[in-house]
Amino acid sequence: MSSSSETVAAFEPREAAPAALSPTRPFYWSLRRELWEYRAIYMAPLIVAGLAMFGFLIRIVQLPHLVRETASLTPLQQSLALGAPFAIVAVSIAGAGLIVGFFYCLGALYNERRDRSILFWKSLPVSNVTTVLSKVAVALVVLPVVVLAIALATQLVMLLLGSAALAANGMSPSILWSHWPFLKMSLVMIYAVVVMTLWYAPICGWLLLVSSWARSMAILWAVLPPLGLCIAERVAVDTHYLFSLLDYRLSGFLSEAVYYKKGARLEDPLALLTPLHFLSSPGLWVGLALAAVFVAGAIWLRRNREPI
């Protein structure tokens, strides 16, 4: 009797042992959730790239005539005239990325508290550290990579279309490529994106901190206190140290990461880059330290702050 019971038990289905959860799995799915909920991360740069491409298609009709007109100009003037559309595309897409990043960070933790979805997300086996760091990764890693990829792809398509237009008019496409050296300018753009990402990290951290704390009008709490302190300093002691610090944080990366002497030749754009000077600047490391403090504060507030 016991042997038959053992035989039946041997053929009965057994429950599978639960698979161990990889420590990176929650972080991966948190990133997926952010990209699914905030499609503007890639849609906004794509829209700007599409509009820029539309404008270039209109301009391309006049491109052979423009090349003939610039033949009598100096090499620098030719580069400025023929390379302007590509520079405008890069700046426009980067600007769209900055705007998206600003509003993403500002709403990343505020929105989930306002619509009370934080109660659902906190019920999942995902820590507050993982959740906040996934949002930091989206703002400081995913978004810059998306912006860079879209900008480079758009410029490459523009170069190919411009080359086809010149070849169709019996002109050498090398004229266009020589005034916008794609490989060198790609390195410049990669450098610029990395520099801006590191330099704006404390702003990202500050916005996430405000997003996790504010109960209403998060954008006012993010913008007005710094501006208010600058105004108060100016009125009280007639100095502008805080405003200089704010201005340095917004645009100081240009003086730290690029060196240009008036009258210098621009044949080699890589010669203008100063990565060692940028990496050794105190403003970079102080900013990164502040970013770490702000992110740590955002994690603590997400753990303890109640829904709105």
What tokens does 40 get?
Answer: 């503007």
Question: Could you tell me the CA-to-CA distances from 118 to 24, 91, 128, 212, 302 in Å, in that order?
Answer: 21, 36, 11, 11, 9
Nearest to 96 by CA among 136, 147, 162: 147
Instruction: Check residue 272 and give its pLDDT.
Output: 87
State the first-to-last Cα distance of the chain, in angstroms, to the nearest integer.
65
Q: Give bridge partners of residue 273 from the DSSP assignment.
A: 258
Q: Please list, in sequence order, all residues whose beta carbon lies within 8 angstroms of the beta carbon of residue 128, skipping any fewer than 6 positions away.
A: 122, 299, 302, 303
Instruction: Check residue 7 and give its pLDDT.
Output: 44
Query: Looking at residues 284-302, what average pLDDT do you find?
Result: 94
Query: Looking at residues 272-290, what average pLDDT do you find?
Result: 94
Query: Looking at residues 96-122, what average pLDDT do you find?
Result: 81
Q: Above pLDDT 70, what percent of the chain? A: 85
Judged by average pLDDT, the poorest of 93-107, 110-124, 278-292 is: 110-124
Q: Please list, in sequence order, all residues whose beta carbon lies within 8 angstroms of the beta carbon of residue 195, skipping any fewer than 6 positions away.
A: 253, 257, 278
Task: List the domain boundaries for the chain.
Answer: 26-31+38-304
Q: Is 195 exposed, middle or buried (0-12, 13-18, 19+ CB in 10 A)?
A: buried
Residue 127 banded pLDDT, cuts 50, 70, 90: confident
Judged by average pLDDT, the poorest of 82-96, 113-127, 193-207 is: 113-127
Instruction: Check residue 2 and give its pLDDT.
Output: 47
Predicted TM-score (pTM) of the model is 0.84
Mean pLDDT score across all residues of the chain: 85
